[in-house]
């Protein structure tokens, strides 16, 4: 057993207190004042702030390796525009130094996967930032299926003279969903008769959890019109979605709030601490989180690593606070909101008895630019230690 003693605890769910957290078998087993267990390892965190391990709900860590070009670029498969059979875990390098840097910054869970070159890019995974091999780092796999609208698939496949317009991007996604539904119907009609079953199709098989609402479609959409197209298709096919990036979403939030609520769509905003590197980002604004908050829309913030290094997610949240977002809402956007939106709030996102012992210990408040993460606990083990 490990006890972190006499720290300022911000559980996110529940009231702040000064006291202790007891950890055993990777889980939080007790929280309160003056906890005392025989033979426990006790670490003083007096003067420190303890928050839940930070969660990045959308990034590409391990897929685009640090300081490398083609040799470490495994995030986009350019050979064809629809690749749902691809699995992020087969492209992630868990030994990329960015994992240890993220962990040292208090980030304990990363939702990572393919980039946005393809209309359908493959399966995302949620994983811890500390571990000795990827199988031991996985929280959930697959977590979501990646899809993309807008400039990126247009640019990639117009270069290959495959398609040129947003119309074709949308029709390609529709075609993929229709074919998956037809494939499922053939499987259902065949029942246990193997002779009547369609030939195994890896891509269509991989899309079945999406059309069955078991897996959300994680949709890359920056522009307002692309966001509206994503909503339109989600309604047409009755699928679960998250809207990732959502760069111009704040501009139309009063028009689409009802759609978001009806669909149960998760909103993941970012990266915000970046330049306007393409036309889609011309309306990028650090005030977007405040606009969403003012309209009662739950959201998470993300880095889109390597666009923003993962360890600077708290800096992004802090800048949103500077632009008017309440501090509590900013902290929720990188902890409990992120956990809820990606469907993992039963394990992570807050400091509660029974949840994974993922804890970030800061000297100072994590939104203070001078604050430093001095200890990170992942699955109950100290993975980073400067105390």
pLDDT in tens, the chain (387 residues): 999 999 999 999 999 999 999 999 999 999 999 999 999 999 999 999 999 999 999 999 999 998 888 888 999 999 999 999 999 999 999 999 999 999 999 999 999 999 999 999 999 999 999 998 999 999 999 999 999 999 999 999 999 999 999 999 999 999 999 999 999 999 999 999 999 999 999 999 999 999 999 999 999 999 999 999 999 999 999 999 999 999 999 999 999 999 999 999 999 999 999 999 999 999 999 999 999 999 999 999 999 999 999 999 999 999 999 999 999 999 999 999 999 999 999 999 999 999 999 999 999 999 999 999 999 999 999 999 999
3-state secondary structure of 124: strand
Burial, 352: exposed, middle or buried (Cβ in 10 Å; 0-12, 13-18, 19+)? Answer: middle
pLDDT given for residue 82 in this prediction: 98
* Beta-carbon-side half-sphere exposure of residue 185 (alpha carbons within 13 Å): 6
Q: How many CB atoms lie within 10 A of CB 102?
A: 29
SS3 166: helix
pLDDT of residue 132: 85
Residue 243 backbone dihedrals phi, psi, to 5 degrees: -105, 110
pTM of the model: 0.97
What's the CA gap between 110 and 60, in Å, rounded? 9
Question: In the numeric block, which tokens belong to residue 330?
Answer: 């900013």
Closest to 220 in 3D by CA, of 283, 291, 268, 168: 268
Q: What are phi and psi of 157, to 5 degrees?
A: -90, -15
Q: What pLDDT, on a 0 to 100 scale, did the predictor assign at position 158?
A: 95
Looking at residue 71, its pLDDT comes to 87
Which string of b and e fits 194-208 if b means at least 16 CB within 10 Å?
Answer: eeeeeeeeebbebbb
Cα–Cα distance for residue pair 90/75, rounded to 1 Å: 10
């Amino acid at each position: 057993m490990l006890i972190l003693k006499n720290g300022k605890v911000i559980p996110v769910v529940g009231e702040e207190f000064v006291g202790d957290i007891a950890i055993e078998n990777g889980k939080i087993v007790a929280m309160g004042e003056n906890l005392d267990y025989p033979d426990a390892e006790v670490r003083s965190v007096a003067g420190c702030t303890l928050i839940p391990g930070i969660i990045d709900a959308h990034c590409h860590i391990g897929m685009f390796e640090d300081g490398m070009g083609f040799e470490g670029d495994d995030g986009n498969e350019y050979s064809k525009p629809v690749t749902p059979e691809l699995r992020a875990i087969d492209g992630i390098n868990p030994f990329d130094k960015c994992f240890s840097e993220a962990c040292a910054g208090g980030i304990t869970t990363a939702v990572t996967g393919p980039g946005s070159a393809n209309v359908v890019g493959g399966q995302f995974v949620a994983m811890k930032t500390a571990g000795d091999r990827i199988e031991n780092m996985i929280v959930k796999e697959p977590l979501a299926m990646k899809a993309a609208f807008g400039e990126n698939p247009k640019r990639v496949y117009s270069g290959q003279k495959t398609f040129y317009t947003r119309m074709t991007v949308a029709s390609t996604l529709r075609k993929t969903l229709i074919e998956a539904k037809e494939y499922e119907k053939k499987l259902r009609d065949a029942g246990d008769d193997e002779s009547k079953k369609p030939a195994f199709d890896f891509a269509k098989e991989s899309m079945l959890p999406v059309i069955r609402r078991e897996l959300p479609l994680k949709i890359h959409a920056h522009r307002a019109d692309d966001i509206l197209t994503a909503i339109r298709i989600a309604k047409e096919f009755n699928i679960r979605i998250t809207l990732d990036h959502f760069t111009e979403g704040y501009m139309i939030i009063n028009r689409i709030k009802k759609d978001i609520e009806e669909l149960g769509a998760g909103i993941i905003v970012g990266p915000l601490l970046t330049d306007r590197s393409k036309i889609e980002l011309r309306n990028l604004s650090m005030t977007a989180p405040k606009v969403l908050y003012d309209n009662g829309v739950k959201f998470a913030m993300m880095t889109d690593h390597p666009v923003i290094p993962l360890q600077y997610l708290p800096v992004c949240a802090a800048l949103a606070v500077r632009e008017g977002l309440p501090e509590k809402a900013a902290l929720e956007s990188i902890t409990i909101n992120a956990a809820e939106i990606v469907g993992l709030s039963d394990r992570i996102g807050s400091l509660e008895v029974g949840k994974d012992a993922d804890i970030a210990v800061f000297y100072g408040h994590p939104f203070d630019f001078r604050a430093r993460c001095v200890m990170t606990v992942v699955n109950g083990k100290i993975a980073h230690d400067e105390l």
